[in-house]
Structure 1
Amino acid sequence: MGWLSIKLLFTLVVVAASFMLRNPVARVVRFTLDPTHVYIYNDIEYGPTLYVHCRSKDDDLGEQVIPPKFSWDFSFGLDLLTRETEFDCSFKFNDESHLYPIYLQPRDEFDCAYCYWKITEAGPCRTDENHTVIKPCDSWVGGVLR
């Protein structure tokens, strides 16, 4: 094994160890390069169309139109070094406009590789793939998308 190979191996071991030290159990489960998937389901009462526009600091996914009782999804890779992957979305329906950080890596990284959200008038709810709520629903947040 050459000197360059030893340096590369040492660097990889140090990086892996730093991840493991932060959260040893969770890091074993989620130390992967597989993409993360976000599913957004329109469950707004009385069936209005939902307009969704999601952005990260690197990607603008454009405005998506989600009919009642349908969903839209997207996937992305996580930033394993800085752990700062974030997707903020604006949601428009019934002449209302709301914002919500649909994916925050520090909040969601170990909870979901497949993140299912049901959008209601009151706010977004984390669900399973059958739209059954698995965590308390959140309220809408204010602010401006970056």
Structure 2
Amino acid sequence: MVISSTHILFFSLLLLSPLMVVSRFWTIFTYRHVYIRNDLGNGTLLTIHCKDQHKDLGVQKLNYEEEFKFQFKSNLKAFIFYFCALTWDHKLSMLVVFDENRDAHFCKDLKWSVTKYQTCLFNCDTQKYDRCNHYNY
């Protein structure tokens, strides 16, 4: 029996298709991590209060270069949305640290840097903090 290259290609794609589907939806099967780092400058305390629609993560106080980390597992039944209130030097800013519509297929770990002028999300494709939200004071 002779097997043509077309048959080999077809069967290879058939065997690989489940892996492609699983890799597309890897976030469903793993924990997601969110990191928020105080990059405001030496001596500036960052206070963070994060929550989602069901869970309050409490108030965290971060000194310069410290970070707060939390994790969660995606849920097929519910939409996941985490937001945080950020305060420092009598200023308040709100930050959506995870929005399933926006971040479902972005980097597995979401790393935020909080500076005096903006919050920036680390982009695992470019290896830079290049997804930034500027403050409007």
Please classify the TM superposition score into its range, dividing by the shorter chain length.
0.7 to 0.9
Q: Equivalent of 2:49, from 18, 31, 53? A: 53
Is 1:69 equivalent to 2:78 in the alignment? no
Sequence identity percentage: 22
Superposed counterparts of 1:1-146, under 5 Å: 28-82=24-78, 84-127=79-122, 133-140=128-135
One-letter code aligned to 1:62: G
What displacement does 1:31 show? 4.9
Shift in Å at residue 126 of structure 1? 0.9
Change in CA separation of 1:68 and 1:107 when aligned onto 2, cut-off 3 Å: same
After the TM superposition, which parts of structure 1 deviate over 3 Å for at least 4 consecutive aligned residues? 24-27
Report deviation, 1:34: 1.2
Larger Cα-atom Rg: 2
8 Å contact 1:99–1:141 — kept in the other structure? no
**CA distance, structure 2, for counterparts of residue 37 and residue 31 of structure 1:** 11
User: Alignment partner of 2:132: what SS?
Assistant: coil
CA distance, structure 2, for counterparts of residue 86 and residue 140 of structure 1: 21
Distance of aligned partners of 1:141 and 1:28 in 2 relative to their CA distance in 1, 3 Å threshold? farther
Please tell me whether the aligned partners of residues 120 and 131 of structure 2 are also in contact (alpha carbons under 8 angstroms).
Answer: yes
Q: CA separation of 1:56/1:46 partners in 2, compared to 1, >3 Å: closer, same or farther?
A: same
- Alignment RMSD (CA, Å): 2.6
Provide Cα deviations, 1:88-109, integer angstroms capped at 9, x if missing partner. Answer: 1000101111101111011111
Structure 1 length normalisation: TM-score?
0.69
- Bigger share in strand: 2
**Mean Cα deviation higher: 132-141 or 38-47:** 132-141
Deviations 1:88-142 (A, max 9, x none): 100010111110111101111111211111011122101269xx63423112479
SS in 2 for 1:107: helix
Structure 2 counterpart of 1:109, one-letter code = A
Does structure 1 conserve the Cα–Cα contact (< 8 Å) formed by 2:50 and 2:57? yes
Structure 1 spans left out of the alignment, 5+ residues: 1-23
